[in-house]
Structure 1
Amino acid sequence: MEQTRQVLHKVETTPLLPTSSFSDHENKSHQTQKLSFTLHPRSSILSHENNCENYTSLTLARLARDSARVNSISLSVAKPHQFESPLTSGAGQGSGEYFARIGVGQPVKQTYFVIDTGSDITWLQCNPCADCYHQSDPIFDPSGSSTYKPLSCSSDRCAALQISACSQAGTCLYQVSYGDGSSTSGDFATETVTFGGGTRSVPDIALGCGHDNEGLFVGAAGLLGLGGGALSLPSQIKATSFSYCLVDRDSTSSSTLEFNSAQPADSILAPLLKNSAINTYYYVGLTGFNVGGNDVAIPVGTFEIGNDGRGGVIVDSGTAVTRLRTEAYNPLRDAFRQMTQDLPSASGFALFDTCYDLSSIKRVKVPTVSLRFAGGKTLDLRGNNFLIPVSDAGIYCFAFAPTGGQLSILGNIQQQGTRVSYNLATKSVGFSPNKC
């Protein structure tokens, strides 16, 4: 897909192939303060996804995972002061779409983690297993690592857990529960984490060593918590920034997750906002949209965070489809429909209500969709960031969906092909297209 005029894109209508390819990440001189992981899309790691009956089945499975995640996030924000158990992101529903290859322990054991900006706790499956699911790599055995150290119940990091307990030996136990009843529990400990295939190690990282992991987890060894809380990986390594670039989820290409690297000079900046009710999520100052170069009229205050902590817009690496409050979604959808009346329509698909039958069209022009941020900056989305294939029969759908709640979520379909950089020092998030 390429931009043909200021307000138009061309979209290739070959649903079983990636709509664009991405070059390898640019080699940079080694900086001791910079840490980097390789990122892989879910489809390149989990071969069973490629064995789905067809692309329609694969899409439906993805959307089911996605909806479970959104429900979990929405519930955690809707009741920020009523936690009886931690209700984090939807990774428990198997909704992780991007995996990082990370080394744990000494000697180093390389394994895959789901990256999640909607969670704080990093954890992985550990032997001995009371209940463990299938993962791509051997399950980590802490008894074989010289750098594994259980945390005591009296430690500050144990106290920072939302749910913790003491073992008979006085060591810290953790539990994280997810929205569908999935959970992970075990020992809370510190370990050495190795970045970049072994080029840099960071000791004393607090993580969960899960001996009982139940529910619909799949593939990865565990979860890498990139949220804004005190126990997240960025907080523990005192990162001033981190960034990622998500390749097309049907691609076999990879990219990087980086800490303390310079923000691309061409980044379109938006403010990161604080929600005093919850510090895990990254709230962004989204104010509206343009379609075909024209402003979309939405009510003032639609995306504001309320005094009760509800509302606002979060940027999330694990949610696929952007969810918008109906007050914003309906006018955005209507504006897009108005400018695509010449395209053959198709029936709605799962959560999508605006779809097109492009099976007989080799290339199609669609209006540019842009995100508007506080401060006046605008991010133009590529065509495959908002019009995506959902079947192997040439059906494409508008990749936004309404939510009945007050929280809106900027999902990873809209982030693909863009380096998203979180500057934790200046409280801003940058979007730099074509930096994978």
Structure 2
Amino acid sequence: MARNFNPPLLFLTTLALAFSFILSLSPHNAAATSYEISTTVLYLTPPSLHQAHQQVLSYNPKTTIQQKNQSNPTKTPFPSFFSLSLHPRDSLFNPHHNDYQTLIHSRLDRDSARLNSIINNLACKTRHRNITAPIVSGATQHSAEYFSRIGVGQPAQQFYMFLDTGSDITWLQCKPCDQCYKQSDPIFDPRKSTSHKSLTCKARQCKKTETTSCINNTCQYNVFYGDGSLSAGDLMTETVSFGSTGSVKRVVIGCGRFNIGLFVGAAGVLALGSGPLSFHSQIKASSFSYCLVNRDSRKSSTLEFNSPRPSDSFTTRLLKNPEQTSLYYVEFTGINVGGKNVVVPKSTFKIKKNGEGGMVIDSGTAITRLEPGAYESVRDAFRLLTKDLKRARGPTLFDTCYDLRGMSEVEVPTVSFEVGEGKLWNLPGENYMIPVNENGTYCFAFATSNFPISILGNVQQQGARISFDLRHSILGISPQKC
């Protein structure tokens, strides 16, 4: 049967299809139809300088409850489980800032010093293969952010020590001291400890690190920092105690006789790096974990050894970088913003043969740093989904800030890390949108590393129980466990 041809109807049909096709190509409709934007509510609590600086711990160790509990710790070769209180840096040291903005600037300055130390050390090892660079600690003179209290000696003398996952030698200032900075506790006097013993040059521990030397048959250590600070002295073995949970004998510790740097009241560094002389390696701990509270919080949390990983943890692999053995690298596979995977260079999370690349997880770096290309992609994705928020100027480190004054809450796109087998670690909004003053300015708390390395900072780790299973090279992440 013959069909009637209707030109006007065909024209209208063609026009409708073309208009529909044009609409489908528009940016707004493309974003709306390709995926549903994932958001979270950020509750805006005005930051307070008073809150950040209150409850500064006493400089008199005799007044602490921990010291009373540690007077007669149980002696055990290797405690099956023990924990230490973990405090933000500002609980120990009150720098008397004039306002919250200057406090933030001081934190970011310390963070830049920390980043430069890691990069300088890595650059030395990757560009000058025949030069052995000194180990760079996570507690450079302006950078360590969390600390615990331990007992050293017999009877135990109590000390605040900076937690550092990027350092391999635990050390503290010792008498007699040729050069010491001011610390909150009395300087350790080995002559008052019955368990003190100097380490000889023949001791196997003296040969396990490249930072040692030998003088008069005494094993000496020298730890240099990227900003010019240092600690040098002799290695000793001592009894170390952990609250009322026990003690361990013959732990190798640096007895610092010459120390330069503003270590902000702490007696030294509690090294949790991946080297053979790190603290957990010596006490035979198969795992350790920490939970970092917000640095403006009144709360403390715990540093735990040999504790079981929380049942709700999701896991990924801990990786080794042969060119940077002190640091922990974590296997991430991607970053999501607003529920959509951000396209970043494939090399971002891969450790190259020359030691560059990869993602370091670090307790001393505050703000997560990404390789330049990856950072720009993540930042641009976040900006695209926050066009309705008023932009503002923030500190030099941040190039994406917002004026949220007068608001009690705001909806922001989610930010997530892809961890192992497609699992997502969804960050709380306060872990990537942080206040930088008391006037309602919030900034996107990611930045560029300006170097082929990425670092997962402690601001992004806040609130989660981070577990290092050293025996199986697994990192566990359990959100909201502080």
Q: Pick the TM interval, shorter chain.
A: over 0.9
The aligned runs of 1:7-406 (5 Å cut-off) are: 7-16=39-48, 32-48=79-95, 51-80=96-125, 81-168=129-216, 170-195=217-242, 197-406=243-452
Q: For the residues of structure 2 that align with 1:176 and 1:132, how far apart are their CA atoms? A: 15
CA distance in 2, matches of 1:147, 1:85: 33
* Distance of 1:348 and 1:390 partners within structure 2: 7
Q: CA deviation at 1:360?
A: 1.7
TM-score w.r.t. the length of structure 2 is 0.84
CA–CA distance in structure 2, aligned partners of residues 427 and 243 of structure 1: 13
Could you tell me how far apart the structure 1 residues matched to 2:230 and 2:449 are?
A: 25
Secondary structure of 1:9 counterpart? strand
Q: How many residues align?
A: 418
In the aligned structure 2, how far is the partner of 1:82 from the partner of 1:37?
40
| d(CA) in 1 for partners of 2:106, 2:141 | 11
Residue 350 of structure 1 deviates from its aligned partner by 2.1
TM-score by length of 1: 0.92
CA distance in 2, matches of 1:54, 1:154: 54
CA spacing shift, 1:358–1:231, aligned 2, 3 Å: same
Partner of 1:352, secondary structure, is coil
Query: Aligned-pair distance for 1:255?
Result: 0.7
State how far apart, in whole Å, the 1-side matches of 2:453 and 2:130 are.
Answer: 17
Q: Distance between the aligned counterparts of 2:233 and 2:244, measured in 1?
A: 27
Contact persistence 2:398–2:443 (CA under 8 A): yes
What is the aligned partner in structure 2 of residue 26 from structure 1? Answer: none
Structure 1 runs of 4+ with >6 Å offset: none
Higher RCO, 1 vs 2 (CA within 8 Å, ≥6 residues apart): 1
Rounded to whole Å, the distance in 2 between the matches of 1:126 and 1:363 is 50
- The separation in 2 between residues aligned to 1:74 and 1:89, in whole angstroms, is 12
Q: 1:27: which partner in 2? A: none
Letter in 2 for 1:98: Y
Instruction: Tell me which amino acid in the other structure corresponds to 1:247.
Output: V
Following the alignment from structure 2 to structure 1, what is the Cα–Cα distance between the partners of residues 134 and 280? 20
Aligned equivalents of 1:89, 1:82: Cα separation in 2:
21
- Runs of 5+ unmatched residues, structure 1: 20-29
Q: CA RMSD in A?
A: 1.8
2:369 and 2:346 mapped to 1: Cα distance? 18
What amino acid maps onto 1:417 in structure 2? Answer: G
**Alpha-carbon shift at residue 6 of structure 1 (Å):** 5.8
User: How far off is 1:400 after superposition?
Assistant: 0.4
Percentage of pairs with the same residue: 53
Q: How much does 1:83 deviate?
A: 4.5
- Partners in 1 of 2:453 and 2:100 — Cα distance? 30
5+ residue gaps, structure 2, are: 1-36, 53-73
Tell which deviates more after alignment, 250-259 or 410-419: 250-259
Q: Given residue 315 of structure 2, which amino acid in structure 1 is its aligned partner?
A: L
Q: Is the 8 A contact 1:103 1:198 kept in 2?
A: no
Q: More helix per residue: 1 or 2?
A: 2
**AA aligned opposite 2:338:** G
**Aligned mates of 2:292, 2:214 — CA distance in 1:** 39
| Higher Rg | 2
Deviates more, 1:137-146 or 1:211-220: 211-220
Q: How far off is 1:385 after superposition?
A: 0.5
Q: What SS class does the counterpart of residue 139 from structure 2 fall into?
A: helix
